[in-house]
Structure 1
Amino acid sequence: MQIDVEALTVEIAGARPVEEATLRAGSGQVVGLVGPNGSGKSTLLRCVYRALRPSAGAVRVGGEDLRAMTVRESARRLAALPQEAAAEFDFTVAEIVAMGRLPHQGPMARTTEEDRRTCEGALEGVGAGHLADRGFLTLSGGEKQRVLIARALAQQPQVLVLDEPTNHLDIAQQLEVLALVRGSGLTVLTALHDLNLAALHCDLLHVIDGGRIVASGAPHDVLTPVLLAEVFGVRAHRVPHPETGAVQLLFDRLPSA
């Protein structure tokens, strides 16, 4: 299912951390949002998953305004994994994943056999079925991310929004998590810090700087030395990945003026 962000603007205390941002993630695409720290990536995504109300603009899922839906309706279409998505209490993994079924249950509904099968399938799908009885707080960073992705998949959304899903993970865990996301078949909108990971795993990239989308397109077309110098303040050397051919980047400091 397609998701559209249309002329989104956020105004906070007179500042505009996001201004007239427009982007699209087509059905089944993995679309990355990249930019320097403080550029507005997380603020934009918080509007997409309804943690923040924009001052102007709209987010549409399948052509329908997300804000016109009830929270339950929107949660059936879109699941999110924010940066701060951590459990404060030591629920078991099975209990964490079961939370993904709440949008499909009534206020007094009990967990059904279908709910249990869906949760078990989501855990197995991310390779974490053996963790079901473990306490969430006992897991490694990579295991926690797998479980949180399983919770999102148990929600059975059509769109998945991820804010820095590889943050604080080692490189093997980063690759595993992004492979899981890529293999989900969902429409994915994700903010990523690592430009090389973004180039490897995303179909399209949107570059945000100062709250505005300044470039959009395929990674090879967007991640140019000129743009990287202007937006990130670095000199970039482009090389092809030896197996996939995807553009990869080597960085230097810009020469002094």
Structure 2
Amino acid sequence: MRLDIDGLSVEVAGHRLVHDISLGAGSGRLVGLVGPNGSGKSTLLRCVYRALRPAAGSVRLDGEELHAMDAREGARLLAALPQEASTEFDFTVAEVVAMGRLPHQRGSGRARRTDTEVCERALARAGADHLAGRGFLSLSGGEKQRVLIARALAQEPAVLVLDEPTNHLDIAQQLEVLALVRDSRLTVLTALHDLNLAAVHCDELYVIAHGRIVASGPPYDVLTPELLAEVFGVRAHRVRHPESGAVQLLFDRLRRADAAPGACAPAPLPRPTQADPTAP
């Protein structure tokens, strides 16, 4: 399923936080949003999963306006994992994942055998089936994230929206979570803080600064030293990952001389060849 955002603007307490943003995520693509803290990434995503209403613009799934759908229909098509997803009560993992089936249940809302089987498959896909009987609050950060992704998968959505899914995770957990998201084969829109993770795992990137899209395209084309200096205020050196060939970044502080007109930029990497798996 294709996700399209057209001319989206968001106002909160009289302040415009997102300005006329348009972007698209093709079916089965993993599209990343990157930008400095406070740039508008989370605000944009809250509109996509309907926690906020936009001041202008639209969010469409295969051409259908998401905000015009009833809540149950929208939840069957799109699942979200907010940045600070929490469960206050100590439900078991199985109970947390079963909440993902609520949009598919009618009447009494009692789980059917089909619901139980879907939840079991979702836990297995997330590598969390061994946690089913554990209390959610007893889990580590990485385990909780796997369970919340399993809950989203149990919704059987076509589109998955993730806000900083690797937050507070160690490096192994970050890699595992993003591999899980990639393997889901869903249409995914995610905000990511780590530019190197975004470069490896995303098909396309949109860079947001001050509530506006300032660059978009494949990671190789977007993550240039010039853009990173302008948007993030850092001096970046581009290298190749020795196995995947993906562009990776090494950072220095941006000295005043680096930002001066005519300052020498690092030599560009050679363009990817056809054999390069990161080539667009």
Deviation at 1:190, TM superposition (A): 0.1
1:208 aligns to what SS in structure 2? strand
| Aligned: 1:48 with 2:44 | no
1:209 aligns with 209
1:6 aligns to what SS in structure 2? strand
2:140 aligns with 140
Deviation at 1:255, TM superposition (A): 1.3
2:73 aligns to what SS in structure 1? helix
Deviation at 1:14, TM superposition (A): 2.9
Indicate conservation of the 8 Å contact 2:30/2:204, yes or no.
Answer: yes
2:110 aligns to what SS in structure 1? coil
Deviation at 1:15, TM superposition (A): 1.8
2:184 aligns with 184
2:20 aligns with 20
- Runs of 4+ displaced beyond 2 Å: none
Gapped regions of structure 1 (runs ≥ 5) = none
Q: Distance in 2 between the 1:113 and 1:12 partners?
A: 43
| Aligned: 1:242 with 2:242 | yes
2:125 aligns with 125
Q: Distance in 2 between the 1:196 and 1:182 partners?
A: 16
Deviation at 1:245, TM superposition (A): 0.5
Q: Distance in 2 between the 1:66 and 1:72 partners?
A: 11
1:156 aligns to what SS in structure 2? coil
Q: Distance in 1 between the 2:13 and 2:128 partners?
A: 43
Q: Distance in 2 between the 1:51 and 1:82 partners?
A: 10
1:86 aligns with 86
Q: Distance in 1 between the 2:12 and 2:143 partners?
A: 36
Q: Distance in 1 between the 2:167 and 2:91 partners?
A: 22
1:36 aligns with 36
1:70 aligns with 70
Gapped regions of structure 2 (runs ≥ 5) = 258-280
Q: Deviations over 1:110-164 (max 9, x none)?
A: 1000000000000011111110000001111100000000000000000000000
1:8 aligns to what SS in structure 2? strand
TM-score, length-normalised on structure 1?
Answer: 0.99
2:100 aligns with 100
2:27 aligns to what SS in structure 1? coil
Q: Distance in 2 between the 1:14 and 1:234 partners?
A: 32
Q: Distance in 1 between the 2:157 and 2:33 partners?
A: 20
Matches within 5 A, 1:143-222: 143-222=143-222
Q: Distance in 1 between the 2:168 and 2:84 partners?
A: 12
1:88 aligns to what SS in structure 2? coil
Q: Matched residues, percent identical?
A: 75
Q: Distance in 1 between the 2:109 and 2:153 partners?
A: 20
Indicate conservation of the 8 Å contact 2:102/2:109, yes or no.
Answer: no
Indicate conservation of the 8 Å contact 2:204/2:217, yes or no.
Answer: yes
Q: Distance in 2 between the 1:13 and 1:49 partners?
A: 20
1:37 aligns to what SS in structure 2? coil
